[in-house]
Amino acid sequence: MAFSSHKRGGSSESRASREPPLDPEEQARALCLRLLTGTPRTRRQLADAMRKREIPDDVAEHVLERFQDVGLIDDQAFANAWVESRHRGRGLARRALARELQHRGVEAELVNEAVGLLDSGQEEQTARELVRRRLPGTRGLERDKRIRRLAGMLARKGYPEGMALRVVREALTAESATEEGEEEPWLWENE
């Protein structure tokens, strides 16, 4: 049996090389659609991706405007969803959330509006929950070391120092009261 060395179709060119290249606007649209399919993106993230692909700035701006007009890009919706998700999922405070959104290119006004959705009571309750979950892992350490570790954990999540120290000290006081057989304090009521 003899094998033929030529490829089916008579040409060794790939199909992609026979098709005309996409114009820059088509490339920009395809790139944005592909990126938006995986996860929501900010306008700046899409602009940066197009810049890396060397799509002309005027073409990129036109495509971004069109995507924004039809609602495929909405930095305010992105910021609001980001705040909700990262606060609930990771326990991040307003300051850390604002930093993340700014890093992703969301305008300061939109960042302020999104982080404003979290009130200080909600933020403090999340801090209490984080401390409550981490408190058992610090048992056996000196009180000052426990305070530093737990307050440091809250600081890394963007909580203000005053709030972090107050919440940690209250949790340690509540823990001591519980160990001495007193009734469980108010700190744990929202479990």
* Alpha helices by DSSP H, 41-142: 43-52, 57-69, 75-90, 94-103, 108-115, 120-134
The number of CA neighbours under 13 Å toward the Cβ of 24 is 14
Q: What is the pLDDT of residue 23?
A: 87
Sign of the C-alpha dihedral computed for residues 24, 30, 33 and 34 taken in this order: negative
Low-confidence residues in the chain, pLDDT < 70:
1-21, 181-191
Distance, CA of 86 to CA of 157 (rounded, Å): 10
Residue type, 111: V
Q: According to the model, what pLDDT value does residue 181 have?
A: 62
pLDDT tens per residue across span 79-100: 999 999 999 999 999 999 999 9
Distance, in Å, from the CA atom of 117 to the CA atom of 73, rounded to the nearest integer, reads: 21
**What per-residue confidence (pLDDT) applies to 1?**
52
Tally Cβ neighbours within 10 Å of residue 81.
13
Report the pLDDT value the prediction gives residue 191, as an integer from 0 to 100: 46
User: pLDDT tens for residues 56-74?
Assistant: 999 999 999 999 999 999 9
What is the reported pTM? Answer: 0.76
